[in-house]
Structure 1
């Protein structure tokens, strides 16, 4: 087998010993494969989504339909990565109405002529149904898999990576940190030049 530095020296960037099924909020960053600017462009500090970016948006916003414990918070799609806050709630609370959380992460900086222009995720019999005990890794894995599949169907590049193999997470410990991260996500398009170099910097939180 050919030596592959990334494959043979891949390290987990999850917090060792932490249960990622635990109730709490998590700041997530996922980058595109080789940091390709795939999802649109930044114009005057505002993100302009292309058709691939709209596919990613739809898959993210639909995550609570498949994960009853999941609630969405702030979210932004950038040309070559996404930032979002995901919250896992207690099993006893999964009967609550999630309608207030779905779409709550749509930041004001997404400039779209019509909200209905977002495509619906392609139906697939393999998409996970309600599994209330799935943890963060399983949720992200499913999101990446099915959003990438749909993007590749549209661009006729089946099997080509859309996302980097791993993702970054930051466990949000308190309300102060949560508010800072929300502000960072909301203003991210204005920080595009800096963010290209450092797409995620948990040390500031």
Structure 2
């Protein structure tokens, strides 16, 4: 539902209201390009063939985990498709997350500084890709937001991981 905030329409969040996105958990992330433009390559014989911008996405995603050792991040499966990336990222126990995991959802999340969480990770990733991608194509743009999902159990983890791995096989250009 859209609401007015400072005379502008604002879309309600799809995020889990009682969840702190710095907490220890596995997260399923999807980030799309603006207007689903295929900047990252193409699918040939059911495999992703990355463009130069697609290679930037790959390098920056992998660098994300090296750059943030203090957050105890683990890179799960990921796939770069022509116009989006799907990935699993784990935030482990670290000095910035006071709560432990799904077991702690009874505690109401407090809106606080937006650093050392999924949002800050994705802002940094999208920003670094944008700066480098625009050197190749000045029209490069991400969709404003990204989709995230807290993976709540092993069954869900398995299904999401399978979905990511099989994504190139199911690609149909829109």
The answer to whether structure 1 residue 186 and structure 2 residue 143 are counterparts is no
Q: Name stretches of at least 5 consecutive residues in structure 2 with no aligned partner.
A: 1-7, 96-114
C-alpha root-mean-square deviation of aligned residues, in Å?
A: 1.6
CA distance in 2, matches of 1:44, 1:76: 15
Residue of structure 1 in register with 2:40 after alignment: 39
CA distance in 1, matches of 2:84, 2:18: 27
Residue of structure 2 in register with 1:48 after alignment: 49
TM-score under structure 2 length normalisation:
0.79
Residue of structure 2 in register with 1:64 after alignment: 65
TM-score under structure 1 length normalisation:
0.67
- Report Cα offsets for 1:65-88 as digits up to 9, x if no partner: 221221100000000111000000
Summarize the alignment of residues 159-170 of structure 1 with structure 2, pairs less than 5 Å apart: 160-170=139-149
SS at match of 1:91: coil
CA distance in 1, matches of 2:133, 2:12: 28
Greater fraction of residues in strand: 2
In the TM superposition, residue 37 of structure 1 has moved relative to its aligned partner by: 0.8
In the TM superposition, residue 161 of structure 1 has moved relative to its aligned partner by: 5.0
Moved over 6 A (4+): none
CA distance in 1, matches of 2:51, 2:141: 15
Q: Name stretches of at least 5 consecutive residues in structure 1 with no aligned partner.
A: 1-6, 93-132, 198-205
SS at match of 1:171: strand
In the TM superposition, residue 137 of structure 1 has moved relative to its aligned partner by: 0.5
